[in-house]
Every structure is written in C-alpha cells, then in structure tokens.
C-alpha cells in the first residue's frame, strides 16, 4: 500500500503521525511510504532519518496521492481538494466538531479512521497519552495565566509557606482529569473533582484519600457551587465520537472569581463551556469574558510535539501495519477495536454518535462491510 505521512497545516501543530521507526516497520512490511517534506521537523525528526528508514521525501501534493493518509489532526479546509474516492485518512480527527470536513468526505467517498475513538477493552488507549499531556499542561497553563501580567487574579497557584495554595476544580473524572489532579496535588493545591459515574467516584476517592481532594457527584447544584471556588477550572468531559453538552453555563462563568482561569480540554470535540463559541490556537490561546480567562486550544499536545509524537506513534503502528498489509476490510474483520475507530466508510457515516452530533445520515457498519 502507498502511505502518505502529512505535515499538518493546523496552527501550532508540530506533531507528526509517524516516527522514522514507524516508517521502517511499514516499509519492511512491503509498503511505500511517502513523507511530506520536513513533516517531522517540529518533533525533532529529520528528512534524513526518514530516508534511512526507507521513506521517500516528497512534496505535500505527492504525499496526498497515497491510499492511506496518516495525519495527526483533522484535515483543514485547505486540504479537502486532496480527498479522493476510497482514500483512508487516519488521525485524531474529532469529526463531531468538523461537520464541513465530514460532508466533504461523504461527497468524495473517503474513509475516516478516528484514532481518538479506538477502544481496547473499554479504554481509549490511543487517546490516553494525549489526554495525559493535555491534563498535565492544563494545570501549568492555569498557573501561568493566573499571574497578574497575563490578566489573572495574581496568585501563585501552589502557594507558599504561610499562604495557602489555590483551588483547582476539574469537571470529569477520566484520564485527563486524573492527570490534572495529579499535577495539582503534586504542587499542593486543593482539588475538587466532579464526576458522574458512581464507580469512578469511588476509585478516585480511594486514589486521593490521603490528599486534599474532594470527589463529588457531578450535577448542576455542585457545579454551580464549586465553580465559584475555582482559581483554575478544567473541563475534561469526553463522549467518544460525539459533541459534549454545554454543561458550564454562562451564568456559572459569571459567578467565578475575577481573574480565574478556564481550560477547556474538551474543546477538541466542541467544548463544554457556553462562553466559548469557537476554539483558540497556540498563537492566540486565550480570551477574557466576564472577567474570566478562557483557554480553548484544541490541539494542546501540539505544544510538546516530541513527547506527543513518540507516544502516538507507539499507539498507532500496529493498526497502520494491519490496514496496510491486510487491507482495510480484513483488518476491520479481524480487530473489533479498529472498528470502534471507523467514523466514515467510503463516504457513509458509520458512527452513530458522529451522525447524531452533526445531523447527517447514519449507516450501520454491517450494511456496508
């Protein structure tokens, strides 16, 4: 199979979908790998390393002629003209927030494999390291924007001897939330986690029983009350393949401390905060509304591309090898976890969560495979 490794044009995105090691594995498996010129530069991988691994350095137009396209993020509008019938596009696509992209895929007849939705034994294993990076960075970003010169309330989030640390409130109790909590606990913050699942609440209560962490049921009453205490509020809610609801209402944001900070990790899928009507980017990451600083960058791990690329490449290589060697249909038949990542198949939306989120026709996978 001919595989294209694309240099993502999204602002601030320096990750790449394959390391040279990945390229070597796929070439040795009998594939031709076309690497977009300097695609790995942002992550510290040179053209020479990809060539040594057996890849071919080509321009962007040529890379997009491949049968299997490996990206990090969803295709941008500037890339839609490259789509061709039967082409497979792999990446962290977050299509529920990109209806125009899905409609173009439907029109052309493209297949989309969304790595963020791939579930292995109930765990989003490929997304897990990206969520960990985003969760950890969220606390660091909160510290940064709380400083007065950035418009924040002027507190040192970890506090110092004799002055208490700030409060970090986390909406959701998954992997990103746990990583945020670990970071916040590690610097001495008071942490409040709001989670809806009873079993997960018990797990988190046990994990943090010896720390200054409150784990509460996520409901409107608790959210209304605890968001007022937040110096940093981090939203981590994820519904695989679907847009999350706008749980954080504008009146709740209005009730927050002036100069406090919201970091919406969920913005990849459309976000959970009513006062965020569109994503920001790494070049212009924040805005202030009702006196509260909002950070809404959808590709947060793109700021640490070396770490993120190595992690995502370890996760995706077995799937990419299976698809390239067996062909997509056989790979899907032999691996249920790969099926969980299939969003669009030959132009048909086969993810119910995606179809419902963007109001397009849904097709059962069994009807097209």
Distance, in Å, from the CA atom of 271 to the CA atom of 250, rounded to the nearest integer, reads 13
Q: Which of the residues 94, 150, 190, 211 is marked catalytic?
A: 94
Q: What sections of 187-304 are H helices per DSSP? A: 198-207, 220-226, 250-254
Please classify residue 277 by burial: count the beta carbons closer than 10 Å to its beta carbon, then call 0-12 exposed, 13-18 middle and 19+ buried. exposed
- 94 catalytic residue (yes or no): yes
Residues 76/9, Cβ–Cβ less than 8 Å: yes
Distance, in Å, from the CA atom of 22 to the CA atom of 17, rounded to the nearest integer, reads 9
DSSP, collapsed to helix, strand or coil, labels residue 330 as helix
Residues 346/86, Cβ–Cβ less than 8 Å: yes
Output the 3-class SS for 162-207. Answer: CECCCEEEEECCCHHHHHHHHHHHHCCCEEEEEECCHHHHHHHHHH
Pairing type for strands 32-36 and 2-5 reads: parallel
- CA–CA distances in Å: residue 144 to residues 48, 58, 224, 293: 37, 40, 25, 11
Task: Just list the catalytic residues.
Answer: 94
């Amino acid at each position: 199979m001919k595989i294209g490794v694309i240099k993502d044009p999204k602002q601030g995105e320096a990750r790449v979908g394959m390391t040279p090691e990945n390229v070597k594995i796929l070439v040795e498996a009998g594939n031709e790998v076309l690497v977009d010129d300097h695609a790995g530069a942002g992550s510290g991988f040179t053209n020479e390393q990809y060539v040594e691994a057996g890849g071919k350095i080509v321009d962007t137009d040529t890379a997009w002629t491949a049968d299997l396209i490996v990206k990090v993020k969803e295709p941008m509008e500037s890339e839609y003209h490259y789509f061709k019938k039967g082409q497979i596009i792999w990446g962290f696509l977050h299509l529920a927030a990109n209806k125009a992209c899905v409609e173009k895929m439907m029109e052309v007849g493209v297949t989309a494999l969304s790595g963020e939705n791939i579930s292995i034994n109930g765990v989003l294993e490929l997304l897990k390291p990206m969520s960990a990076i985003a969760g950890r960075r969220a606390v660091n970003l909160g510290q940064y924007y709380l400083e007065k010169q950035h418009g924040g309330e002027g507190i040192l989030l970890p506090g110092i001897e004799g002055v208490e640390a700030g409060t970090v409130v986390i909406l959701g109790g998954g992997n990103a939330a746990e990583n945020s909590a670990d970071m916040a606990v590690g610097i001495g913050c008071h942490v409040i986690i709001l989670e809806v699942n009873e079993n997960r609440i018990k797990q988190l209560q046990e994990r943090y029983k010896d720390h200054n962490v409150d784990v509460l049921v996520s409901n409107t009453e608790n959210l209304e009350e605890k968001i007022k205490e937040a110096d940093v509020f981090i939203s981590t809610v994820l519904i695989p393949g679907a847009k999350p609801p706008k749980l954080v209402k504008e009146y709740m944001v209005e009730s927050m401390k002036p100069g406090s900070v919201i970091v919406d990790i969920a913005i990849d899928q459309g976000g959970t905060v009513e006062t965020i009507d569109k994503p920001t980017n790494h070049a212009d990451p924040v805005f202030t509304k009702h006196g509260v600083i909002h950070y809404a960058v959808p590709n947060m791990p793109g700021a640490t591309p070396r770490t993120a690329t190595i992690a995502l490449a370890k996760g995706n290589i077995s799937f990419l090898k299976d698809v390239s060697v067996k062909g997509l249909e056989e790979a899907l038949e032999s691996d249920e976890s790969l099926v969980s990542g299939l969003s669009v198949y030959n132009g048909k939306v086969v993810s119910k969560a995606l179809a419902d989120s963007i109001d397009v026709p849904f097709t059962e996978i069994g009807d097209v495979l």
